[in-house]
Structure 1
Amino acid sequence: MFFFSLSLRTRPFLWNISYKPKRTMATKVHAVAQTGFGTGTNDLYDRARPSYPSQSIAHIREVVKSPAPLNVVEIGAGTGIFTRALLAHPAWTADIHKVKAIEPSAGMREVFSKTVADDRATVAEGTFNHTGVEDGWADIVIIAQAFHWCPDYDSASAEFARILKPDGATVCIWNLEDRDGAGWVAQLRDRVESHEQGTPQFRLGLWRQAFDTASYTKLFQPPEEKEWTYHLPGSVEICVNRAQSKSYIAVLPPVEKAQVVEDIKAILAKGDGKVWMDESQGLFEYPYKTLVVVARKNS
């Protein structure tokens, strides 16, 4: 789930503290994102990436102040992983009027259209800064596993405020493997993250710059955060596929990607801190964390 800004003419670009992204008329999508999340990679992404804890989705429902039926805008909807969870969640399913999913990737929109079988949900091309949603339509804006790709936090905050109702809120949610949960998770992340190429990954916290922009401080209240720690079922196949679904791994040359896979298998075979769920089935605990950040619009 990744974005480009029409004003900056870039999709996710290489970005770290010292890196200055190159912005040219010809560059709309960075090569890492264009290839790593491009058409042909999206089925693996949808299959490999985890859904979201039920309690985190219930928490987001409590954020909404307006009465049902509710209008939801989901920016960076990707293949519909969060959308499906939202539509099916008991705290939400009876209260949703419409979900307008916004996603710039054609490949992801294609998978979304195949996997989200609900007449209340539509998907359209758009970005953080240009959603195409009418003024004051949304009760809530939700961004799942995507806001760290935003290239212009100030204009994005202005766009969120524009499409939200007066008592609305923007909510960001992320899943991330918990490196503190087991030694093998830390080792796996170290191996995989060595290929990030400076991309603005969630773990770096660059997205927190949004809360200091002029538009955010004028239009939204200080952010609120809540985190959950838990574990999911893991296996060698799950860990390998999840790693390969990351954009910066997907773009690696075949030989280099194969080496990453072999190294992951070696880490799992060593299994530092591994806790078996069902050893006969090859299932073990996969430690995870989920973070929810709530930004309430000023009245």
Structure 2
Amino acid sequence: MITGLVSLRAQQFVFRLTRNMTTKVHAIAQTGFGTGTNELYDRVRPSYPAECLSYILTHVTFSSSFQLAFRIGAGTGIFTRALLDHSEWATSIGTLRAIEPSDGMRDVWTKTVDDNRSSIVKGTFDDTGVEDGWADLIIIAQAFHWCPDYGKASAEFGRILKKDGAVVFIWNLEDRDGAGWVAQLRDRIEAHEKGTPQFRLGLWRETFSTPEYISLFHPQEEEEWAYHLLASEQIVTDRAQSKSYIAVLPPDEKAKVVEDVKGILERGDGRVWINKEEGTYQYPYKTYIVVSRKK
């Protein structure tokens, strides 16, 4: 436990030292989510539980047909499609403007999102191109941990939100407490993070103590859900390879990761079968939501 804590603090320290020297998009994010990696990402990353999307609707205030601005991390469209397919959201969205810095991800988003209320442009957390006071709601899905400057991002969110608008941050993550094999999987792939600002490190929480956030937003509200998805050897190994820090590995190192993950799955510590004959079992997951309301 102590060793893990020291390692975590060391990664946090390294990231804080280098954050001011990074570009607007982290180098690992640029390559790990670059052209050629996005189809796998879109195919194997999980969507979001319907109850979590309903929770957002009941915890934000907006007009009957509101303006929704996605931030950096619109990605390949997984979250966009989840909203557009959700019975409550589908009838609430007036305009959906997606923001994403990766050319490859925007290309997949364009191919997979088919709704005339939706569009996507290139942008970053602190440079969106959105007009002042345009958005009722900003949602950042599976992305804000890559933010290089939390204060500048908060100022940008405040600029484009209407009065009483809100920012919602949402993440999915494998639940290492849900089964022994999941904890072993996370340990194996996390060995390749190399100081990248992963969600689990909690560096993004510095947002809520920046002067910009404090002056513009109320204290954040947080919620989490634990549940199970469908797992198989193919699903787990493909999803591991979709991680940015695994995607950038040389082929031989990536092959070793896959080999080790298969070994973990073969042992299957704590596995709960769904259908043993078909090779499917429960994949413990959690979804985290943070809501920040503009003053």
Structures share a fold, TM > 0.5?
Answer: yes
| 1:68 equivalenced with 2:49 (yes/no) | no
How far 1:55 moved relative to its partner? Answer: 0.6
Which residue in the other structure is 1:141 paired with? 138
Structure 1 Cα separation of the partners of residues 59 and 65 of structure 2: 15
How far 1:87 moved relative to its partner? Answer: 1.1
Q: Which runs of 5+ in 1 are unaligned?
A: 1-13
How far 1:23 moved relative to its partner? Answer: 6.0
Structure 1 counterpart SS, 2:34: coil
Which residue in the other structure is 1:18 paired with? 14
Which residue in the other structure is 1:56 paired with? 52
How far 1:24 moved relative to its partner? Answer: 6.2
Structure 2 counterpart SS, 1:170: strand
How far 1:18 moved relative to its partner? Answer: 3.5
Q: What are the superposed Cα offsets for residues 9-45 of structure 1, whole Å, 9 maximum, x if unpaired? A: xxxxx963134217669x6654422221100000000
From 197, 200, 212, the equivalent of 1:200 is 197
Structure 1 Cα separation of the partners of residues 217 and 29 of structure 2: 30
Structure 2 Cα separation of the partners of residues 22 and 68 of structure 1: 40
More displaced, 93-102 or 28-37? 28-37
**Equivalent residues of 1:175, 1:288 under 8 A apart:** yes
Q: How does 1:82-121 map to 2 (within 5 A)?
A: 82-121=79-118
Structure 2 Cα separation of the partners of residues 146 and 205 of structure 1: 13
| 1:220 equivalenced with 2:217 (yes/no) | yes
Give the count of matched residue pairs: 284
From 137, 141, 148, the equivalent of 1:151 is 148
Q: Which runs of 5+ in 2 are unaligned?
A: 1-9
Structure 2 Cα separation of the partners of residues 116 and 64 of structure 1: 24
Structure 1 Cα separation of the partners of residues 118 and 97 of structure 2: 6
Structure 1 counterpart SS, 2:18: coil
Structure 2 Cα separation of the partners of residues 198 and 43 of structure 1: 25
Structure 2 Cα separation of the partners of residues 24 and 151 of structure 1: 9
Could you say if the C-alpha distance between residues 56 and 261 of structure 1 is closer, same or farther in structure 2, counting changes exceeding 3 Å? Answer: same
More displaced, 185-194 or 33-42? 33-42
Structure 2 Cα separation of the partners of residues 18 and 226 of structure 1: 29
Which residue in the other structure is 2:5 paired with? none
Q: What are the superposed Cα offsets for residues 83-126 of structure 1, whole Å, 9 maximum, x if unpaired? A: 00011111111111111000000000000000001111100000
**1:138 alignment partner AA:** A
Structure 2 Cα separation of the partners of residues 103 and 221 of structure 1: 26
Structure 2 Cα separation of the partners of residues 159 and 215 of structure 1: 9
Structure 1 counterpart SS, 2:200: helix
Could you say if the C-alpha distance between residues 105 and 41 of structure 1 is closer, same or farther in structure 2, counting changes exceeding 3 Å? Answer: same
**Equivalent residues of 2:25, 2:146 under 8 A apart:** no
Could you say if the C-alpha distance between residues 268 and 85 of structure 1 is closer, same or farther in structure 2, counting changes exceeding 3 Å? Answer: same
Structure 2 counterpart SS, 1:249: helix
Question: TM-score w.r.t. structure 1 length?
Answer: 0.92
**Equivalent residues of 2:25, 2:124 under 8 A apart:** no
Q: What are the superposed Cα offsets for residues 235-272 of structure 1, whole Å, 9 maximum, x if unpaired? A: 00000111000110011111111010010000000000
Structure 2 Cα separation of the partners of residues 16 and 24 of structure 1: 15
Structure 2 Cα separation of the partners of residues 136 and 31 of structure 1: 31
Structure 2 counterpart SS, 1:91: helix
**1:65 alignment partner AA:** T
Which residue in the other structure is 1:278 paired with? 275
How far 1:66 moved relative to its partner? Answer: 1.9
